[in-house]
Structure formats: structure tokens, C-alpha cells
Amino acid sequence: MRNRVLMAAAALLPLIATTVFAANDVVDGPVRDKGAVRPAEHQARVSEPATLTRDKAIRQIPQINPGEYFIPPQIQDIPTSKYGEMVELGRRIFTDTQHYAGRYVGNALNCSSCHLQEGRKAYASPMWAAYPMYPEFRNKTRSVITFEERVQDCFKYSMNGIAPTLDSPEIKALSAYAHWLSKGAPINTELPGRGFARLAKPRDPNSINGEKLYKENCAMCHGKDGQGQKFAKRDGYMFPPLWGGKSFNRAAGMSSIKDCAQFTKANMPLGKGWTLTDMEAWDICTYIWIQDRPSDPRFGWLMNIIMPPTGGN
């Protein structure tokens, strides 16, 4: 009798196990693919979903549903009016700053070098998420600034140049372009995709590991020496310099390891955003940060020599 009971129990074990595991797989809400990560559920402390592996090169890629991100108007929707002409000029300045605003630029970058896809891409500091938030308080200046004043800072720091006056056609056109891109966006609302990705930092970044990762993931486009790649048949850079005299200066936002890592996580390598782990992005940007670049224009030459560079983490 005892043997029969044991045999019956053994026969039921597979059925019980299947039922238990199936119950554990039941989740509330809509069914989604295993490993899919929504931006609202993105936990930066976990570098990859448990069901994925590094070999699959899929890590925390946001699954975008219709209506989740604000959608700016299309280029063909630029109005045929005086306002539309100013918007189009702003778009041209944004994508080819070297040509249309070169008198204010001191390096080889364009606005779209950092604000990808003509200022449209989520988590690449899109204009449609930035413009409606101004005026706002800025820690760097310890004051409340307008959008136009923020653009001036971009010319001084990211472009390593000089700030256009607030009544200059360049500032007016760039403001009109950002205004048009944000048409329909709510005012003073933190939209999904604003700024850069949010990262965890489980350990101190390592520039030695960053150099190795840079050579594996970045050097193909930006060069082993970080000097970028020029177009073959016209002026300008296809891939911008990341350090050296042609890059942004020490006061630029991208000179901060944190900002660089957040941008890199979501957007780099180009076309393969979200494939680096949080820590890999930190390491790469630490390696970039230790390279030479133009000094911080907020300080004199002596202070730039004796002070440690800003932006370290």
C-alpha cells in the first residue's frame, strides 16, 4: 500500500510543478514579450532584464507604445509664412551650425551633434521637451534663465564660441524652431524622453576599462584619437570630435561624466542605443573626460591650470 502511494505521488509531481510555474508567470495588465522594458518601469540599478543575456545585446531597450512620447510636427508641416521662414532658418542653423551660425562657433560641432535627429530624438535632449520648461532655474548659473539664454550658453560652452546677442537672427531662429517642434506639448510638464537617460553607478568608473570599451564601441566612428571623421566630399564632420581643440570645452554639459554617460547609454553606439550597461557608459565617459579639450571660459588661464576640471564624478 505504501509503495502505491509513493508511486502515485511521484506521478503527480510534474503536473504540480507545471501548475506552480504557470501561476508564477501570470502578471496583471497587458501581455508583453519577455524582456521588454517600458521607460516608466526602467530600473537603472538592473543593467539588463533577468531573461536576457549580454550575448543577445539587448539591454533595457524601452518598448514604446503609441502616445507614450510626444510626437513633434513633421518637416513638411512647416507653415508657408514669415514664421515658417524663421522656423526653417532655425532648422538649418540647428543641423548645420558651422555654415549658418559659424561666426559664433569655435569648434567643429553642430547643435545636432548632441541633440540627435534634428532635436527630435527622445533621451537626446529633444527640443520639444526642453522649450516648454523655460523659464527655469539653472544650477550652473544659479539663476532663472529663458530658453534664449540657454541657447547662448550652448554657443559659449558646447560650441566653444561666443554667445549671440538675444536679438540676433540666430537666436530668434533657433527659438522659433524649438517653439515649432514643441507645438502641442504641455507647458511646464516633465515629458517622457526629456534630457538624457537615468543611470545607476554601482561602483566608481574606471578609465582603463573605459579605454578598452571606447576602442570596441566608439573608435570606428569618432576615431581612436577622438578627433571624429570628416565628410569625404564636403566640409564638416560626419562624426564629431569628442576631445581636442575641435570639441566642446570644459564647461559644456557633455563634459560632465554624468551627462555624457546618460547620453551614451540611450544613444550610443549610433543606432544601437541601450546596448551598453550603465557601468560601461560611465567607464567610457570617464575615459573621454580625462582627455584634453578647450578650457573652461568661466575661469582665467591660471585657474584652468591649477583647478581640477569640472564634471568629474
Quick: pLDDT tens for 153-198.
Answer: 999 999 999 999 999 999 999 999 999 999 999 999 999 999 999 9
- Mean pLDDT (whole number) for 227-232: 96
**Coarse DSSP helix, strand, coil percentages of the chain, rounded to the nearest 5 percent:** 45, 5, 50
CATH class of 197-313: mainly alpha
Helix (H) and strand (E) counts for the chain? 12, 4
Start-end ranges of CATH 1.10.760.10 in the chain? 77-195, 197-313
Strands 143-145 and 229-230, by their bridges, are unpaired
> How far from 311 is each of 61, 140, 228, 245, 282, CA to CA, in Å?
27, 11, 22, 18, 12
CA dihedral of 250, 259, 112, 223, whole degrees rounded to 10: 70
Angle formed at CA 113 by CA 287 and CA 143, multiple of 5 degrees: 85
- Kindly state the cell numbers that stand for 50: 533577468
DSSP 3-state assignment of 22? helix
pLDDT of residue 310: 86
Reduced to 3 states (helix: H, G, I; strand: E, B; else coil), residue 138 is strand
Q: What is the pLDDT of residues 55-102, one digit of tens each?
A: 444 445 555 565 678 999 999 999 999 999 999 999 999 999 999 999
What pLDDT, on the 0 to 100 scale, is given for residue 268?
A: 97
Per-residue pLDDT, 68: 79
For the structural domain made of 77-195, what CATH number should be given? 1.10.760.10
Residue of 312 and 114 predicted with greater confidence: 114
Question: Is residue 111 a contact partner of residue 181, using CB atoms and an 8 Å limit?
Answer: no
Q: Report helix, strand or coil for 143.
A: strand
Give yes or no for residue 283 having a pLDDT over 80: yes
Q: Are 247 and 294 in contact (CB under 8 A)?
A: yes
Average pLDDT of the chain to the nearest whole number: 85
pLDDT, tens only, 44-62: 333 333 344 444 444 455 5
Q: Which three cell numbers stand for residue 48?
A: 539588463
Q: What percent of the chain has pLDDT over 90?
A: 73
| Residues 6+ positions from 25 with CB-CB distance below 8 Å | none
